[in-house]
Amino acid sequence: MACVDFTETGELLAMAETCTPNLSPFSSSVTNTTQCASEPSLSPLARFIISFHEYQAMAQHISSTKELLTNSTSIESDSFEILSRRNAVTTQYPTDFIVIHILQQKEQILSILNDSPLIKYTHIDKVITKPTASKHRRSKHLLETDQDLLYKNEYSRTGGKLFTKWMPFEEGDGSNRNLLSHFLITEHLGAKKLWDDGYDGSGVNVAVFDTGLEEHHSHFNHIDERTNWTDEDHLKDGIGHGTFCAGIIASKYKQCPGFAPNAVINTFRVFTNAQMSYTSWFLDAFNYAIYRKMNILNLSIGGPDWMDMPFVDKVREMQANNVIMITACGNDGKYGTINNPADQLSVIGVGGITQNDREIAGFQSRGMTTWELPSGYGRVKPDVVTVGQSLYGSGTDGGCRTLSGTSVASPVVAGVATLLSSVVPADERWKVINPASMKQVLVESADRIDGLRLYEQGNGKINLQNAYEYIKKYEKHVSAVPDSIDFTQCPHAWPFCRQPLYYSSQPYVFNMTLLNPFSVVGEIPKSPVFEINSIVYDNGHIIHLNDSKTNDANKYKFLNMEFKYSQRLWPWCGWLGIYIYAEESTLTALSTESQRKMTVTGTIKVDIHVMDTEHRAYNAEDEKWKLHKLSIPYSLNIIPTPPRNQRILWDQYHNLAYPLGYFPRDDLEKTNDMLDWFGDHLHTNYHTLYDFLKDKGYFVEILSTDYSCIDADSYSALVIVDTEDEFHAEELQKLKHDVLNNQLSVIVFADWYNEKLMQDVRFFDDNTRSLWDAFTGGANVVALNELLKPFQIQFGDMVCVGDVRVGKNKLYFQSGSTIMKSPAGSYVLKTDLKPVTDGRTKQVNSNKNKERPAIPLVLLDTNELTQTAEKGKAGRLAVFGDSTCLDANQHHSDCFWLMEMLLHYATKSEMPGELRSSLTLVTQENMQQVYDAEYLKQQKVPQVIKATQHLFNQVSRVHNLKHVQCKDKVVDSAKQLHAQVEGDKNADLQHNNNVVQRSFPLQNDKDINDGYRFEFHPHLDGNHGHEIMILYPFLVMAVFMVMVCVICRPARKLLLAPFGAALRKQSLFFMKKVKTSPSGSTEHHHV
């Protein structure tokens, strides 16, 4: 299949990009359609998007789908319904999808559709809603037959694809008395300078995807078209959000002016007044934006669902068609919550800062992106920030009002981009400006804010004056975002600057975005290389390796780099993953007291092939490629390897999160979010814990592979926090050996797990119209019990809340699991806690539940166990039942002091006195008193939930491993990795002596790199399907031959005669030109 590129001339051209999705981590080809384990007993009614490989008239897609299904003897004619689209425009243009209601026989229908060669994939038509405070929100789209009526609204509801919450308008609430109530962002950024120079956004088509706009709103000069894509029969903005965003971009009203008052505004009403939408509404609107040749698109929404394949696919296709998308990063105010689509490479993601230009606004979502985890590393987002606090903008009544949020900061950047676009002469404008070049202009002219971190501010705050001067002199060039790597500067380079590199550590892993403004398609023809330019020791000694006087430069190769990259850059961009290791030679170089640290600087060099559009032709022989060289400077510190008792390892590999499946929140008392989607990474929602551990002198490394490659001699402790995945039998065997024989200690922070509570947190999904069951509890306690089994420690299924005291310290136990078994010689903390018997939020901490004795903490020196081979060679275990107190995004108060105590015990074999005095030593004599019959009667051993086990197995990366084994071969480059996997499709992927396991079984060639990735695309093969580049000249030649057939009669007779009339008819279709008249009507022309 070939994506469709509507070029400047309006011709349909086949692009060198397939849009066929990879299979999702659900082994079914239907992503997110099989999550509900209870579905067979519930109403199967659901809306599905059927995405096709080709753009055709909607009627043709409908006809072929009906024929496909009705020709099957197993499908009843009344078991499905093709939904009509309310906007008449959808019938005037080709489309690549339709929407179907499946009334019955869902599995059979989906199977037939997904097996068809005409169909790219099927996917749930997601309901996109704003989160509300109401626990039992109802949608007017629910039918009386919906199964939730059987439960009398007992369960929570969700709209499935949630989007970033919009901030309320601020008039009259008195909350901003210390702020400028009439803060004019155009004045703040100096737009008047450009206006005075004659630039005002003229000739730039801007699309505002939001809640609509009044027809004759007095603030706007040029409202070209207003379209409604919802099921409401009007175009009015009943909320005011769309009007405000459009006003920030293009208002002419002097009381609250926009940046580009003469821009051409097109509003796409994709949200109802109830702030609800469907993915299919967006797809139609996105297609129409392509057809209407929108230049800049503002989308002030986003959400955590990066696996909504049709939505993400279409965003990338729009970028390929030169639509510059600018979108909000989110208003979740926490690390690891960058929303989609702002987290995509080619999209310009916008964050918000305060009016003083120096602080991140409290509401702003922070980076890094999380869909690359656990094996890769997230990208730097937001791209840029600007003031998003209490801006003054257009109201629906013709006046002005005040609003905050990244959804307000996004149209600020969209307005700036519109204004800057008008600076480029009209005849050259869209030859120069595209998604890559506009991102370059914005990020390369931005100002870094001192004191803020890279993953908070991205590339800095928008500087309109710098950007104005920059775009006037702009010349196309390939670039990286960020443009350099300096891990020595704190706090900007956090978290890397907090922990220098050292020999035998896990590598620095950094993810960069590569921009190619020359052509929508580019490629990296060979692996990048690096060079070391200089070495500066802390005693002042400097070595310049490029100095001709320096002899034997090889002895100064103190680091090594490996690269993982997208060989193909599409659309307009790609990614580069960098792994940096310190070499063993650093041990000798840093062995003296006068030389304890070195700063290594150098350059990473990347060759990028871009398409030479000036010589582009329809003949493959005439296709020209140009080579551009990109140099990325780097700087980092290397220190001697720290002692073992300071090194700890954080298990990231066994964490799973939404949208891979329904993984519920860790805190059952939390009311505003039912999903666990923060990444559970030390650099996202555990970032404050990371800083705490660094302040205490620990060196924390992140494990992104299975346990089989742990060098237990290097680490004093393995920290396992809130894991959702299971553990492989070989992992458990190795871990047991390392604990009992290699003095490796293990610290576990678990979370709640109870079958009844998991039933209580089921929710009704408006997309599938069925109940979703949780795959685990807050943590996979069943799997943790398997890990702890050799050490005779076991969690029960009693979940409790309440205060836990250790000496003078206190923490709040936020719906954690209690422990029901530990061996003699262990130490336990026994305290009174309140059992949780009802998982519904308002009942979690009910006064009906009385406090009872419970055991949330166990410590064990495994040297006390009889199976220990040699006394003194075993490690220690510390097991706690709750992890929420470590989570910066969720805890009431932190329990870092407890982590410090447990690490002191694990790494130094010393129990702090305050902790020891709070614990009880378990002996054979008192064991029945510690674990008394009344306590054990309140709980049972947690079991795997059979109803969801098969679904969990589909998303579990561990379950799909055939075996784990750390092999000797080292793969030094992506090409060797590719060659190895090509030679053995069933082989485990190798990376620096580590086995890099796949998240799910390989299905075809395009899946080969998904095991170790920097950008997870369950829907595209754009990262690694470089073989498609070979096909591109042939596709262009085919188009050229079709043109000859259509235009030249003799050639047509000669070439088409052998193939008959059918082929002749098909070739004419490809030359159909769709042209939109100025009035918005559609005219069809045939060449």
Active site residue 284: no
DSSP conformation class of 40 = G
Q: Out of 29, 277, 407, 519, which one is annotated catalytic? A: 407
CA distance 834 to 668: 13
Q: Which residue has the tokens 């092999």?
A: 967
SS3 994: strand
- Which among 289, 433, 434, 322 has a CA at the least distance from the CA of 15? 322
Determine contact, residues 515/481, Cβ cutoff 8 Å: yes
CA distance 330 to 339: 6
Q: Are strands 717-721 and 647-651 parallel, antiparallel or unpaired?
A: parallel
CA distance 33 to 767: 9
Q: Out of 53, 241, 654, 681, which one is annotated catalytic? A: 241
Q: Out of 146, 148, 210, 667, which one is annotated catalytic? A: 210
CA angle 469/475/479 to nearest 5° reads 105
For residue 528, say if its preceding peptide bond is cis, omega within 30 degrees of 0. Answer: no
Rg (CA), the chain: 30
Q: Are strands 876-880 and 745-749 parallel, antiparallel or unpaired?
A: parallel
Phi first, then psi: what are they for 467, rounded to 5°?
-65, -35
- Which among 425, 473, 426 has a CA at the least distance from the CA of 445? 473
Give the H/E segment covering residue 760: helix 755-760
User: Which spans in 921-997 are helix H?
Assistant: 927-930, 933-937, 946-955, 974-983
Active site residue 822: no
Q: What are the distances in angstroms from CA 298 to CA 241, 250, 328, 407, 948?
A: 12, 12, 9, 9, 40
DSSP conformation class of 1021 = -
CA distance 51 to 32: 15
Helices H / strands E in the chain, number of each: 26, 46
Instruction: Name the strands in the sheet holding 119-124, side by side, starting at the edge strand that comes first in the sequence.
Output: 80-83, 95-102, 46-56, 119-124
Query: What is the number of other CB atoms lying within 10 angstroms of the CB of residue 806?
Result: 21
HSE-CB of 979 using CA atoms within 13 angstroms: 6
Active site residue 654: no
Q: Are strands 264-269 and 223-228 parallel, antiparallel or unpaired?
A: parallel
Query: What is the number of other CB atoms lying within 10 angstroms of the CB of residue 872?
Result: 8
- Which among 761, 767, 841, 746 has a CA at the least distance from the CA of 801? 841
Determine contact, residues 387/421, Cβ cutoff 8 Å: no
SS3 622: helix
Determine contact, residues 214/224, Cβ cutoff 8 Å: no
Give me 791's structure tokens: 């050490």
CA distance 396 to 240: 6
SS3 123: strand
CA distance 208 to 686: 36
Phi first, then psi: what are they for 413, rounded to 5°?
-70, -35
CA distance 1015 to 1010: 9
- Which among 601, 603, 888 has a CA at the least distance from the CA of 722? 888
- Which among 891, 370, 888, 887 has a CA at the least distance from the CA of 659? 370
Give the H/E segment covering residue 721: strand 717-721
Determine contact, residues 389/180, Cβ cutoff 8 Å: no
CA distance 1044 to 921: 88
User: Residues with catalytic annotation?
Assistant: 210, 241, 407
